[in-house]
Amino acid sequence: MMKLGWIGTGVMGAAMVTNLMAAGYEMTVYNRTKSKTDALVAAGATWADTPAKVAANSDVVFTMVGFPKDVEQVYFGDDGIFSGLAKGKTAIDMTTSQPKLAAKIADYAAKHGMQALDAPVSGGDIGAKNATLTVMVGGDEATYQAMLPLFEVMGHKVNHFGAAGTGQHAKMANQIMIAGTMTGLTEMLLYTKAAGLDPEKVLATLSSGGADNWSMDNYVPRILKDDYTPGFFSRHFLKDLRIALSEADSMGLDLVATAQAKRLYEVMVDVKGLGDQGTQGLINIY
């Protein structure tokens, strides 16, 4: 079996590594905060102290970090992946990042005899734990086909969209849709409370009708328990919305509702300092 490496073992990454290890893959891991890899190392993963060393020990190295600047550093920085990855090996970035950065990574890889895919995911911490993620892939078709068995360990829906960067564009479409569902479920709860309705009964009713959606089903129960732990950090969602709106602007699109969602998350993250809450914490700014 292929030897795998993973850089970025946060809320979702650690669960995805666990699923790959359970499928029998040998794993080398790195995270800026080493303690976040302790449970994985105890379960059999090997620690490496730089991304370059992870890459040198891997046939396929995955990355799932926070922001585009982190992706850039992890691939092109001192002791980065490209200083350790051998010819013929593959790098897969599962961070939600900029399409142009995905294309830059793939171009560098191709010029140096390597392969690279962009493969952001949707499904949050629950999807990562249950291996039910949706995976959106951009890059070379043959490389995608070769990596498909790995994606299928982590997700239940995998689609290839085309050249490098198209996986990231698909994820932007996903985040634009979620922006609407998060503002909708937040204001639905506020209306429910103001009208004196039982929120549990409202949730059960809406979940069986046309208003049903993944965000409502998974986040409203957390909100009703005052649980704002991150299945997905709000600061990362704000980053995604900024990327989506930048890409939309370059296409000549004016996404009014998405821009309003971004402004709300800016209040939550930049003004109120709630960026480490999950996206369901949006209700705390109202």
Instruction: Please report the sign of the dihedral spanned by the C-alpha atoms of residue 95, residue 99, residue 105, residue 109.
Output: positive
Closest CA to 168 of 136, 145, 135, 143: 136
The C-alpha atoms of residue 26 and residue 21 are separated, in whole angstroms, by: 6
> Catalytic pick from 171, 225, 262, 272?
171
Q: Please give the structure tokens belonging to residue 13.
A: 């990454």
Active site residue 3: no
Closest CA to 133 of 149, 157, 150: 157
Amino acid identity at 232: F
Q: Where are the alpha helices (DSSP H) in the chain?
A: 11-22, 38-42, 51-56, 68-76, 99-111, 124-130, 141-154, 166-194, 199-206, 214-224, 234-250, 256-266
Closest CA to 203 of 192, 15, 162, 274: 192
Instruction: Please report the sign of the dihedral spanned by the C-alpha atoms of residue 280, residue 127, residue 215, residue 71.
Output: positive
**34: which DSSP letter?**
G
The C-alpha atoms of residue 146 and residue 90 are separated, in whole angstroms, by: 10
Q: Are 55 and 29 in contact (CB under 8 A)?
A: no
Within 10 A of 218 (CB to CB), how many other CB atoms are there? Answer: 18
Catalytic residue IDs: 171
